[in-house]
Amino acid sequence: MSGLRERLGRLRSSSAEAPTTDETTSSLDLSATPEIPNLSPEFIEIGVRLIDNESGQFLLRRVEYPFPYRHGRYDLADMLTCASHLHPIATRQNRQSPVDAIDPYRLLFLDTETTGLGVGTGNVPFMIGFGYYTETAFVVEQTLIRHPGEERAMLTYLLGHMKDKTHLVTYNGRTFDWPVLVNRFILNGWRQSGQEPGHLDFLHPSRALWRNTLPSCRLSMVEEARLGIQRGEDVPGSLAPALYFQYLADGNATHLHGVYTHNEKDILTLASLCVHFGFLLSGGIDLRSREGIEGEELFRTACWLEQHHNLEAAERLFVQLNEMEDIADSGGWSLALAARYKRAGQHERALPLWRRAAEKAESSSLPKLDAHIELAIYYEHRDKQPLTALIYAEKALELAYRRAKFISDAAKRKDEKETLQHRVTRLKNKVTRERK
Amino acid sequence: MNPWTEKTESVEEWLGLLRSRQELMENVTYWHTQPAKPSRSVPMPERVHPKLAEALQQKGITQLYTHQAASFQAVADGHHVVTVTPTASGKTLCYNLPVIQKLLEDDSARALYLFPTKALAQDQVAELQELANLMEADIKTHTYDGDTPPTVRQAIRNAGHIVVTNPDMLHSAILPHHTKWVKLFENIRYIIIDELHAYRGVFGSHVANVIRRLKRICRFYGSEPQFLCASATIRNPQEHAERLIGEPVALVDDNGAPTGEKHLVFYNPPVVNKQLGIRRSSVLESQKLAAMLLKSGIQTIVFARSRVRVEILLTYLQENIKHELGKKSIRGYRGGYLPKLRREIERGLRNGEIRGVVSTNALELGIDIGQLQACVLNGYPGTIASTWQQSGRAGRRQGSSVTFLVASSNPLDQYLIQNPDYFLGRPPEEARIHPDNLLILLDHLKCAAYELPFEEGDVFGGEKLTDLLEFLAEEKVLHRVGSRWYWMEQAFPAHNISLRSAAQENFVIIDQTEGHRVIGEVDRFSAPTLIHEEAIYLHEGVQYQVEKLDYPEKKAYVREVNVDYFTDANLAVELKVLHVDLESTSGPLERQFGEVTVMAKPTIFKKIRLRTHENIGSGPIHLPEEILHTSGYWFSFSEEQSGKRSANDMQMALLGLANVLIHLAPLHLMCDPLDIRVVPQVKALHTKRPTIYFYDRYPGGIGLSQRLYEKHDELLEEAQRLIRGCGCLSGCPACVGPIEEVGLLGKDLALSLLQGMSERS
């Protein structure tokens, strides 16, 4: 075989973005040391310092936000008063390790910037940003590694800060940031000792509330639409890996300035989001006063509050929903609410919701049949008025035909019609029998 | 025989009937009988855990066959082991025994089982669970593949004692997430690789690299597992296992399982046109033999080489015996059938409800279908190893079995059918892999770097690692810090690397005569000449014209036509020798092995009228040139030898010889016939002489032409024997090629060129 380098060179010349010069001499230089003692001015200008610990070196930036500090709609200091209300979320998310109470000083707000997607072993968090409360301020710290060799020192530092914390506050940290960090611990030869940290991952509560009302549940979308935060110019998180690779290639830390800002803002937003949910659970937010809030969001919020054992606040919202004039029902909340009343045996509260939904269906070009079917069931079995039930069932069958041309699944279409036909026939028999 | 039902009592009786039928026996060129062999066993070793011994006893196993005992001992002695035994010889116990023994002794121990396909993995789990139940032991065995529900994955990762998976899953899901498998990798004691022979060629070269990665991860977690491999009969099981796992391996091949008497019958369909050398269709003859067997009540398996042939044979057979047996008792079996249907067929074969099955080599691997009585091979399966493997499907531990090899008209089949000694006197082929193929190696190096950083002094494959790592660093895939290289890219490398890449490269053929229907596939390298636009593509005897070739999307759209011509494309192949690695001269013949670049570009196509073969038109083909860097072997003739011949004669002689050689080459290689290509050149650029080139049709080469370089003399001898032995007058498809291709003198020209060579050397 010809020389390996020659063959490798040929491989390169056949690829499109091949460099034109063909380097064949060995560029191995073992004297290059991983320790880079001097910090470039581009780091110093944004307040980055070099830290030495028992595992090596890494970079650290620390910013304090003394109280009061307002980030969007909320003051971060409000966290100190409303943190205890987050307890139901913590309980729900950490069934294995329940806690008695949430102590704001023992929360670590965490967000990492990584070199890739997914939680494979080759995905390296090059920046770990975290925030925590002191008596007088909210502190953000951001660690950065200038190369993967500094990872161990950075992780050691992070573990130091996790020691007295009970929960990690994250946005999707439970399935992303934390597993990625666990990979790194294992790769560094550390095994888990003692308790896993608890999670307060706000992605899931955010989805529960805004899944149907926001175009997406990305943090940047949520903060702008619901927390009143305007980021202005921001490097999107998806660009962070490319910017880091640029820095690795030319050593110019200016590439990273935007990443630092982005990560810092994410952590502040996490705290702000935390306050939002704290207030929501404490009943400190009057959603009724929010302008333009949709029934859908009220309904989802009410259900979420109910799941988190805040029945009183939930009930207030349910009552309000019943009274709402405008029912722009994008997510189908009125039927869901009616179903809820039905389960609770409160048919009298479900009835008006069904009637309104039925009215709406009749004027729709792609109608839902559910309200009519519910009404038919109610009148047949509850109210014992088979004739009224028959009217609703026949109407439903009519709607089913109108609907049929939009349903591509032939079997489903047929099934729907057959079930309805069966119901209509049975009701007709019943009515005839009663007349006799 | 029962005169009322025509059913025979036994295979022996049926064979007696066959012998009395002169019109069939005329076509039998050879009849080989392997006598029955009694079993050789030893008492259950005392070391076997009492629970395990008892469970085996419940299954009726009180003794071990010699090979089972030998492998049990070899494992206990701490060796990596490869066991080579034929189908149905109790092979799985060779590795299950030590694994279960270990798990009974140590609950924290773990084992990883690798099978080439998902179906085999599921069979295995069922067997292991049965054993665990008999022992009432808490041994958790799970398959981990694409079908495993996400909800149970975590439980398997943490608590599964035995994880059964395939190399693809290991490559793309387990290794890149090894941190989730800490329990497994810290405690892994055994790695089982069954169907070792399936890991050859490009696939095997990939798998060898996956195993390098696996070993690297095990080392990281401080474990050093033993490899327990099992293989069907190949020539070099030990060498192959050693190359695949990169460790010395102990060989166990003393088969102690009993076998009944076996008959191997070579059957050559009669010649129907001597001038053109055309024989009666092997499909029809196979069908005839299978129908005779089935009508006599003999459970039979028919192997065919392509999916289409399976379907044709199945249709004929079902029609032929519909009065004797229900349609449901003859089934097809091939890739593309749904798993549920396949399980149903396997079950039917085991319990005897299904009397006959027509299959591709899909049933060659160790799927449990019980043992049948007769086997009909429609065409030589391509390798001696496959032939034994397929014929092993027939043969019970008691009673006789029979295998028919029905030759097709291609030169390799004809060579074997006329030279039975060659087949019988010869060990099966070698399985070859070339894990250091640069492209494959680099692909897996990326994956390995993703999994763990590399460090100065690490070893991965046979090439100089630092050079490779530096290359990847220059390509900005790795980042070097001091003496370490780290993965530094956004991508997840395993996603872009498929272990079975060859299959993905196929072009699909879509018939749009009525709606859209996929009717077949053409491999990438044949596509430019077979399915260029305006080509006439033949499929099951029907003509289709290619209307559009979507080259990037690998789709050809065709429409049914009825025309009186076929098309023939000219492919301009240019071959450049980049580097000569080996050479040797014997007399006037010079042969070399080295690196080559092959540039292939289709130029024009001709329309040729059926029957008269006159040229009735032509057209250009606009397709990009294919460039392939690979390894090749070539030999050239001296001026002295060629001097007497005109250029045209030389052309015909070389072409004829090349046709023969390319068909014979697979005799020495365990490979798909399309993996190796041949190019004859009257005046080659490199040697300036008449030359025949062989090259591996995979970028970087996979060791095939190197093997041919070593086997050069044998290869030429076989070629001479084949051409001499062929009964045709002046060339036919079974030797140098049809006279339309090599001319009226093609056969003589090729033969005299060969003779000239052997006389002088």
Domains along chain A with CATH numbers: 41-282 (3.30.420.10), 291-331 (no CATH), 332-436 (1.25.40.10)
- Whether B179 sits inside 8 A of A28 (CB atoms) is no
Residue B748, pLDDT score: 87
The mean pLDDT of chain A is 83
A311 touches chain B (CB under 8 A): no
Going by C-beta distance under 8 Å and a sequence separation of 6 or more, which residues neighbour residue A241?
A: A113, A114, A115, A116, B490
Same fold, B11-35+259-424 and B41-252: yes
Residue B448, pLDDT score: 96
Domain covering B41-252 assigned CATH 3.90.870.10 in the classification: no
The tokens for B457 are: 């002094």
- Whether A30 sits inside 8 A of B483 (CB atoms) is yes
Residue A355, pLDDT score: 81
Binned at pLDDT 50, 70 and 90, residue A287 comes out as low
Give the mutation candidate from A10, A11, A192 for the B interface (greatest B CB count, under 10 A): A11
| Residue with the two structure tokens 């003779």 | B755
Inter-residue contact B633 to B591 (CB < 8 Å): yes
The residue type found at B574 is E
Q: How far apart are CA A335 and CA A314, in angstroms?
A: 17
- Whether A115 sits inside 8 A of B489 (CB atoms) is yes
Inter-residue contact B227 to B247 (CB < 8 Å): yes
CA B244 from centroid of its chain's CA atoms? 16
Going by C-beta distance under 8 Å and a sequence separation of 6 or more, which residues neighbour residue B354?
A: B328, B329, B330, B331, B345, B348
Q: Is the pLDDT of residue B635 over 60?
A: yes
State the average pLDDT over residues A70-92: 91
Binned at pLDDT 50, 70 and 90, residue B758 comes out as low
DSSP string covering B467-478: HHHHHHHHTTSE
Q: Looking at chain A from residue 31 to 70, which residues have their Cβ under 8 Å from any Cβ of chain B?
A: 32-34
How close does chain B come to A63, measured CA to CA in Å? 29
Residue A185, pLDDT score: 94
State the average pLDDT over residues B411-421: 82
Higher per-residue confidence, A57 vs B369 = A57
Q: Taking each helix axis from N to C terminus, what angle separates A4-14 and B438-451, rounded to the nearest 10 degrees?
A: 90
Residue B239, pLDDT score: 94
Residue A17, pLDDT score: 39
| Residue with the two structure tokens 């798993």 | B339
Binned at pLDDT 50, 70 and 90, residue A19 comes out as very low
Inter-residue contact B632 to B705 (CB < 8 Å): yes
Going by C-beta distance under 8 Å and a sequence separation of 6 or more, which residues neighbour residue B648?
A: none
Q: How far apart are CA B617 and CA B567, in angstroms?
A: 10
| H or E segment to which residue B315 belongs | helix B307-320
- The hierarchical CATH code for the domain B11-35+259-424 is 3.40.50.300
For residue B453, give the nearest of A27, A33, A148 by CB distance: A148
Residue B78, pLDDT score: 95
State the average pLDDT over residues B458-465: 89
Alpha-carbon distance values, A267 to A65, A94, A170, A273 (Å): 12, 22, 9, 10
Would you say the ipTM is above 0.85? Answer: no
Q: How far apart are CA B544 and CA B537, in angstroms?
A: 5
Residue B126 sits at the vertex; the CA angle it makes with B121 and B130, to the nearest 5 degrees, is 145
For residue B463, give the nearest of A4, A245, A248 by CB distance: A4
Residue B506, pLDDT score: 72
Binned at pLDDT 50, 70 and 90, residue B609 comes out as confident
Q: Is the dihedral of CA B111, B117, B122, B128 positive or negative?
A: negative
Residue A25, pLDDT score: 32
| Residue with the two structure tokens 């080599």 | B361
How close does chain B come to A190, measured CA to CA in Å? 11
A122 touches chain B (CB under 8 A): yes
Higher per-residue confidence, B452 vs B554 = B452
How close does chain B come to A109, measured CA to CA in Å? 24
A81: left (phi over 0), alpha (psi -120 to 50) or beta: alpha
For residue B488, give the chain A residue with the closest CA: A115
Residue A18, pLDDT score: 34
Give the mutation candidate from B179, B456, B476, B580 for the A interface (greatest A CB count, under 10 A): B179
Q: How far apart are CA A422 and CA B208, in angstroms?
A: 63
State the average pLDDT over residues B22-28: 91
Residue B455 sits at the vertex; the CA angle it makes with B473 and A238, to the nearest 5 degrees, is 45
Binned at pLDDT 50, 70 and 90, residue B568 comes out as confident
Q: Is the pLDDT of residue A30 over 50?
A: no
Q: Is the pLDDT of residue B761 over 50?
A: no
Binned at pLDDT 50, 70 and 90, residue B163 comes out as very high
State the average pLDDT over residues B48-70: 93
Tens of pLDDT, residue by residue over A147-169, are 999 999 999 999 999 999 999 99
- Whether B467 sits inside 8 A of A8 (CB atoms) is yes
Q: Is the pLDDT of residue B560 over 50?
A: yes
Residue A389, pLDDT score: 83
User: B476, B405, B479, B567: which is closest to A18 by C-alpha?
Assistant: B476
The tokens for B460 are: 């991965």
Residue B5, pLDDT score: 59
Lowest mean pLDDT among A106-115, A257-266, B353-362, B723-732: B723-732
The single-letter DSSP state of residue A68 is S
- Whether B492 sits inside 8 A of A117 (CB atoms) is yes
Residue B276, pLDDT score: 62
Backbone angles phi, psi at B331, to 5 degrees: -130, 160
User: B301, B284, B258, B282: which is closest to B391 by C-alpha?
Assistant: B301
Which span out of A63-67, A391-395, B412-416 was modeled with the highest average pLDDT? A63-67
Output b/e per residue, B113-122; b: 16+ Cβ within 10 A.
Answer: bbbbbbbbbb
Higher per-residue confidence, B579 vs B228 = B228
- Whether B179 sits inside 8 A of A2 (CB atoms) is no
First to last CA, chain A: 100
Binned at pLDDT 50, 70 and 90, residue B686 comes out as confident
Residue B596 sits at the vertex; the CA angle it makes with B593 and B602, to the nearest 5 degrees, is 130
Residue B695, pLDDT score: 92
B382: left (phi over 0), alpha (psi -120 to 50) or beta: left
CA B660 from centroid of its chain's CA atoms? 21
Q: Is the pLDDT of residue B504 over 50?
A: no
How close does chain A come to B164, measured CA to CA in Å? 21
Lowest mean pLDDT among A78-87, A329-338, B146-155, B504-513: A329-338
Residue B503, pLDDT score: 43
Tens of pLDDT, residue by residue over A398-421, are 888 877 777 666 667 777 788 888
DSSP β-bridge partners for residue A64: A139
Q: Domains of chain B: which residue ranges?
A: 11-35+259-424, 41-252, 438-496, 505-563, 572-612+623-760
Residue A395, pLDDT score: 84
Secondary-structure breakdown of chain B: helix, strand, coil percentages, each rounded to the nearest 5: 40, 25, 35
A298: left (phi over 0), alpha (psi -120 to 50) or beta: alpha
State the average pLDDT over residues A104-121: 94
Tens of pLDDT, residue by residue over A224-254, are 888 888 888 888 888 999 999 999 999 999 9
For residue A240, give the chain B residue with the closest CA: B490
Chain B residues whose CB is inside 8 A of the A119 CB are: 177
CA A388 from centroid of its chain's CA atoms? 45
Q: Is the pLDDT of residue A424 over 60?
A: yes
State the average pLDDT over residues B295-309: 85
Binned at pLDDT 50, 70 and 90, residue B3 comes out as low
Q: Is the pLDDT of residue A15 over 60?
A: no
Chain A residues whose CB is inside 8 A of the B627 CB are: 14
> Is the preceding omega at residue A68 within 30 degrees of 0, hence cis?
yes
Binned at pLDDT 50, 70 and 90, residue B265 comes out as very high
How close does chain B come to A41, measured CA to CA in Å? 22
Residue B747, pLDDT score: 86
Q: Is the pLDDT of residue B540 over 70?
A: no
